[in-house]
Structure 1
Amino acid sequence: MTSEYFHFLSIIGVAFFAISGTLLGHEKSVGGFGVVVVATVTALGGGTLRDILLNKPVFWIAQPDYLYATYIAIFASILSIRHLPDLSNTTMLLMDAVGMAIFNIIGIEKALIGGADMIVAITMGMTTGIFGGLMRDVICREVPLVMGEELYSTACLSGGLTYAALFTLEVSYIWCILGAFAVTVCLRLGAIHFGWQPNLFRKSSFKRS
């Protein structure tokens, strides 16, 4: 992936997460500046942890335009809330799904660029995609989405595995990105709409003859 694509994806991911943080903060009646704090933590938290773990310069300190993207997204969200009909919780979940999918890809790519093994890259993608939303939910006193019964981290993991499979097959970067994005978003939206659950600990039924 060229640096331009990487930068563009990062900006888009930051913006989507900033919107989701603003919407949840509004829903929970967080005060004016508190909404900015919630949205900023949501947008920058996952990437900050990723860069610290990879021992890289923190992305929004090295390139302040990520802060501009965050604050513009927050301001646009506030204007939308003030002047448009009430936005449902589903809108926040949609923003979160797209942001998670993008940050998942960015985390994988940044780890691979740094020379990490693929399994480390997949884990770093999940960390980047999930951590900002986790912090947002904790601050807003919500049960974190990642701790819920619906597909969340599983969707992120599935996207990472899709990326790894396509990468191993030496498919071009753009298809690795699109494949991982599509799988993550589709699984997450399916969970939101249909209530898909992983049921990892479902007991098997045995019949005695």
Structure 2
Amino acid sequence: MDTPPPLLFALDLTGTFVFGLNGALTALRATHLDVVGVVTLGMMTALGGGVIRDILIGAIPPATFLYWPYFTLALAGALIAFVLNRPLARFEMSLTTLDAVGLSVFAVIGASKAVAAGLGAGPAVALGVITAVGGGTIRDLMVGQVPTVLRSELYAIPALVAAAITVAALGTDTYGLPAAMGAVTACFVIRMLGVRYQLNAPRPPGQSRGTPEPGM
């Protein structure tokens, strides 16, 4: 398996762990699942986007099932969330910050893998976004919620920006660790500004921020 530069690879593994943690915590807040349900949803959050990407580019079996740290870290994050869900609730902002790191790195790595598989710019950007938000979308649908990506403070848009920067850098032969980290940083900053100031993507005319959403 080809791996990204060490720093990106470390962040990728960190993102996998944090997505497993956050996915399980979200499942615990939304449902009354047992340990099997919570761990399953946590692991889907951490691994789902990458599995979808790998299947779409024909990388079979997906990297998740070939490289043990991904599976192990996703499982560990989900189990820790199940056991320590109450203490972890005190660190929600810290977990949101780490979640933004995972979102950013997954978008960059997803887009770069798509380009390496021979996809054009548009599909590669789309797969970068899918890698970043796919797992969380699966989780939300399984617990009967409107997916976070469709309603949260600038979630898909930061991933889109990071994926686009990555694809542009690859297309101009300027991709390397500085460009990758620049894309990660752009995504992270936009995401955290959205959280801090409760910024959202434009809504339909006439719909206020407080309008109830289906399933909420």
Q: Specify the alignment match of 2:16 in structure 1.
A: 14
Which residue does the alignment assign to 1:206?
A: none
Query: What percentage of aligned pairs have identical amino acids?
Result: 24
8 Å CA contact 2:35–2:82 kept in 1: the answer is: no
* Contact 2:103 2:132 survives alignment (8 Å): yes
What residue is the counterpart of 2:213 in the other structure? Answer: none
SS in 2 for 1:70: helix
Q: Partner residue of 2:41?
A: 38
1:40 Cα offset (Å): 0.8
Amino acid at match of 1:64: W
Tell me the residue number matched to 1:179: 182
SS in 2 for 1:30: coil
**Which residue matches 1:67?**
71
Does the CA-based 8 Å contact 2:15-2:98 persist in structure 1? no
Q: Distance in 2 between matches of 1:18 and 1:123?
A: 23
Aligned residues: 201
Residues 1-209 of structure 1 mapped to structure 2, 5 A cutoff? 3=3, 5=5, 7-28=9-30, 29-57=32-60, 58-81=62-85, 84=87, 86-87=89-90, 90-148=93-151, 150-199=153-202
Per the TM alignment, residue 85 of structure 1 is displaced from its structure 2 partner at its CA by 6.0
Computed over aligned residues only, the root mean square deviation of the Cα atoms, in angstroms, reads 2.5
Stretch moving more, 91-100 or 147-156: 91-100
Using the size of structure 1 for normalisation, the TM-score is 0.83
CA deviations 1:138-163 (Å, max 9, x no partner) are 22222211111631211111112222
Task: Structure 2: give runs of 5+ residues left out of the alignment.
Answer: 207-216
Partner secondary structure for residue 3 of structure 1: coil
Shift of 1:183: 1.1
TM-score norm. by structure 2 comes to 0.81
Are residues 86 and 107 of structure 1, via their aligned partners in 2, closer, same or farther at CA, if it must alter by over 3 Å? closer
Q: How far 1:107 moved relative to its partner?
A: 0.7
CA deviations 1:120-144 (Å, max 9, x no partner) are 2111101111110111112222221
Taking the aligned partners of 1:113 and 1:9, their CA distance within structure 2 comes to 20
How many Å separate the matches in 1 of 2:112 and 2:81? 29
Distance, in Å, in 2 between the alignment partners of 1:50 and 1:139 is 19
> CA deviation digits over 1:9-61, x for unaligned, max 9?
44222112101112112222432221101101111110111011001121122
The residue type paired with residue 136 of structure 1 is R
Verify the 8 A CA contact 1:81 1:87 in the aligned structure 2. Answer: no
Q: 1:151 to 1:86 in 2, by over 3 A?
A: closer
Task: Indicate conservation of the 8 Å contact 2:51/2:63, yes or no.
Answer: yes
Structure 1 gaps of 5+ residues are 204-209
Partner of 2:129, secondary structure, is helix
Q: Distance in 1 between matches of 2:4 and 2:148?
A: 31
Q: Which residue of 1 aligns with 2:212?
A: none
Rate the CA distance shift 1:9–1:89 in 2: closer, same or farther, 3 A: closer
The range that moved more, 145-154 or 44-53, is: 145-154
Amino acid at match of 2:115: L
> Offset of 1:65 from its aligned partner?
2.8
Looking at CA atoms only, which structure, 1 or 2, has the larger radius of gyration?
1
